[in-house]
Amino acid sequence: MSDCRSNIVLIGMPGAGKSTIGILLAKTLTKDFVDTDVLIQRQVGSSLQDIVDTQGYEALRAVERQVLLELQCEQTVIATGGSAVYAQDAMQMLKQSGLVVFIDVPLQELRERIHNMDSRGIAKKPGQDFDALFQERWILYKEFADFRISAGSHSQESVLALVVDALQAKSK
């Protein structure tokens, strides 16, 4: 009997490498790939940052929740936006359809990776700094994850190998 949880859902902070790792993982495992940030931008017709600037971070989270709840796919690697974990009902649905992998990158490394903090479309409260956002979300990522991959200071290929190894160990 096959596991009905055929998707692999990547969660983590902006800059963790979810989209890049997701594409590599989909190629490696011969699965489809979906980047929910791209779906959001296509649905709204503007960038994530434009949504935050014109409608506020709650609007971005609401659209993200709607996009996640409407996702219908199998055998797909899904790279979620960093704020997906705020949509509890959508995350529960994603967990039912797939294994959730938390790409965990240390705060200091994220700071070094992200050079466009003010234009990246990060859904955070006005005045909330990146450190506080990291602390708030880390708890949620850990709560929803089936696996946590410590991705700090690893190359993309190494993170990919860690994810594949964790998935293979789970399937045994």
Whether 44 has a pLDDT exceeding 50, the answer reads: yes
User: Can you list the positions of beta strands (E) in the chain?
Assistant: 7-11, 32-35, 76-79, 98-104, 147-150
| Confidence band for 2, pLDDT divided at 50, 70 and 90 | very low
Higher pLDDT: 5 or 47? It is 47
**Using N-to-C axis directions, what is the helix angle for 57-70 and 48-55, rounded to 10°?**
130
pLDDT of residue 112: 86
pLDDT of residue 119: 57
pLDDT one-digit tens code per residue, 108-158: 999 888 876 665 678 888 888 889 999 999 999 999 999 999 998 888 999
pTM score over 0.85 = yes
Using DSSP, state whether 79 is helix, strand or coil: strand
